[in-house]
Structure 1
Amino acid sequence: MVAQEPVILEPKRQIGQACCAVVAPRLGDAAAKSAADLLKALADPARLQILAILAQSSGSVCVCDLEGVVGLPDPQTGQRPKQPTISHHLKVLRAAGLVGCEKQGLWAYYVVDRERLAEAQALLAALL
């Protein structure tokens, strides 16, 4: 019996050759990095809660007022995160440019950066 050549259903491709039409990315490298950093900052339930509280507030909010109201309760104790954890979340939001901070004595008061929040909303809308 003579061995038959296998039937090739697809043409042979060279390395690096696409099999489909390539779609140009909607985001450049810098915009993709910026979007990823923003989404990383928002990727926590406590930070989303903090941002929602600050966005709904007409003024600034003291970090002490956020303690006990934001963050998922600990499954064992039922307690919400304490001030140091809240401050960490606020630091992440500040680094992303979503909130601003003003020190008054010992306390820090936070306010949402509405311009940056609008930019973030536009960025997310452009991605979808």
Structure 2
Amino acid sequence: MSIFSEFREFAVKGNVVDLAVGVIIGGAFGKIVDSMVGDLIMPVVGMLVGGLNFDNYFIALAGQTATTLAEAKKAGAVLAYGSFLTVLLNFIILAFVIFMMIKQINRLKREEPAAAPAAPPPTPEDIVLLREIRDALKR
């Protein structure tokens, strides 16, 4: 078998295609969660704690006196803990959404009606003959 045919067989297997679809959907879903956290949740949280923008929470490690994170990064090393808080919140929301999806999938799997029990397999002929002999001896 040539390398090309082996690669083609590998690439068209269901698992590889499923994985590719999952990665593409995961990337798009990640962007949705980033937007939800950055554009919807963090502004509300910032408003609740006094109108603060978490993206501009940082500690200047090089002694710079910048007012925004972008300026501080240009001037030297920065510990950007506000950005970390945003990414952490992104992760928590994403993990919760995935948990809820898996929970619903598991619930749907449990609710599938059980198939009707299959008829028992026919009794082998030698067993039937032995039972007939046993019954004849009892009489």
Instruction: Give 1 or 2: higher helix fraction.
Output: 2
Normalising by structure 1, report the TM-score: 0.27
Q: Highest CA radius of gyration, 1 or 2?
A: 2
Greater RCO, CA 8 A, separation 6+: 1
Normalising by structure 2, report the TM-score: 0.26
